[in-house]
Amino acid sequence: ALSPDAYRRRHEITVSGNNVPPPFIAFKDTGFPAELLREVLKAGFSAPTPIQAQSWPIALQNRDIVAVAKTGSGKTLGYLIPGFAHLKRAGKNPKMGPTVLVLSPTRELATQIQDEAIKFGKSLKIDCTCLYGGAPKGPQLRELDHGTDIVVATPGRLNDILEMKRVSLSQVSYLVLDEADRMLDMGFEPQIRKIVNAVPTRRQTLMYTATWPKEVRKIAADFMVNPVQVNIGNID
Ligand code: ADP
Ligand code: MG
């Protein structure tokens, strides 16, 4: 078996932070529940991707993470599975609003994240609601009224629903900003700031981005506490 350092070198993983735990090189290292490991096997996955291997043990320590990695690297399950573990511990009450909130730049990406959450969360009885623009609000509001563990949302639509006071983010304790650089490029910073202001400060925050420009560094500094940074490959 590879040592943690050899694994990081081989997969171009660099980390910064105090006492960063070693990567989970194999699924058997993760301690994930058997139902979930069965789904992972059914999906045909043979090993965690590098971003999963390195970010899972950090996320499971309830630490904030900023991860810089290209698309296609398996980031979605990188944050969803620790989110499932968080939900199990959180003593959630879905009727009071979601515990896990994922912000995503587009409807298409948001629905892909929801699909993954449903596929891998079903055996754990975790449910997920998706909120995005360009579609009527009615069905989305009704889904929220039924209660949900996870909300995946585009910032514009979630901010509208928040201003209508049709969702409470007061139970959110696991916040993910996926494709943060793209959300900023699309001009969503004001909506993101309003949403994050409606989430309690006592929370775990995870941010995923393909690039690391100063605008993204600024929101990372504003929204996270002592994040561990994980980079895969060369970052711009
Ligand atoms: P990213 O968000 O980094 O662009 P995704 O999370 O969309 O990447 O994952 C890309 C593809 O890889 C998806 O089809 C996903 O199901 C698949 N995938 C995720 N984890 C693994 C894994 N451990 N092994 C093989 N494929 C995986
Ligand atoms: Mg992604």
Residue 95 DSSP code: G
Q: What share of the chain is helix, strand, coil (3-state, %, to 5)?
A: 45, 15, 40
Over residues 136-148, the mean pLDDT reads: 96
Ligand 1 atom closest to residue 44's alpha carbon, by position in its atom list: 25
Return mean pLDDT, the chain.
96
Atom 20 in ligand 1: which residue has the minimum CA distance? 74
Tell me how far CA of residue 116 lies from CA of 78, 108, 119, 138, in angstroms: 11, 13, 5, 24
The domain of 100 spans: 4-232
Over residues 47-74, the mean pLDDT reads: 96
Residue 72 Cβ inside 6 Å of ligand 1? The answer reads yes
Residue 54 Cβ inside 6 Å of ligand 1? The answer reads no
Does position 63 have pLDDT exceeding 70, yes or no? Answer: yes
Q: What's the pLDDT at 236?
A: 59
Over residues 36-55, the mean pLDDT reads: 96
Radius of gyration of the chain (CA): 17
Does position 68 have pLDDT exceeding 80, yes or no? Answer: yes
* Residue 195, φ and ψ in degrees, nearest 5: -65, -50
Does position 1 have pLDDT exceeding 90, yes or no? Answer: no
* Residue 63, φ and ψ in degrees, nearest 5: -95, 155
Nearest Cα to 216, choosing from 204, 201, 227, 203?
A: 227
Over residues 162-166, the mean pLDDT reads: 97
Based on the structure, what is the number of domains in the chain?
A: 1
Over residues 75-94, the mean pLDDT reads: 92
Query: What CATH number does the domain containing 180 carry?
Result: 3.40.50.300
Alpha-carbon span 107 to 116, nearest angstrom: 14
Tell me how far CA of residue 155 lies from CA of 1, 54, 98, 165, 178, in angstroms: 43, 28, 15, 15, 11
When mean pLDDT is compared across 89-93, 121-125, 160-164, 209-213, the lowest value belongs to 89-93
Nearest Cα to 226, choosing from 66, 61, 46?
A: 66
Residue 135 DSSP code: S
Q: Take residue 209 and report the two structure tokens written for it.
A: 């981005």
Over residues 41-59, the mean pLDDT reads: 97
Q: Quick one: CA torsion of 36, 141, 108, 228, rounded to 10 degrees? A: -60
Over residues 200-205, the mean pLDDT reads: 97
Residue 74 Cβ inside 6 Å of ligand 1? The answer reads yes
Where is 100: in which H helix or E strand? strand 100-103
Atom 2 in ligand 1: which residue has the minimum CA distance? 75
Does position 95 have pLDDT exceeding 90, yes or no? Answer: no
Please report which ligand is nearest the Cα atom of 180.
2
Residue 14 Cβ inside 6 Å of ligand 1? The answer reads no
pTM above 0.95, yes or no: yes
ipTM over 0.95: yes
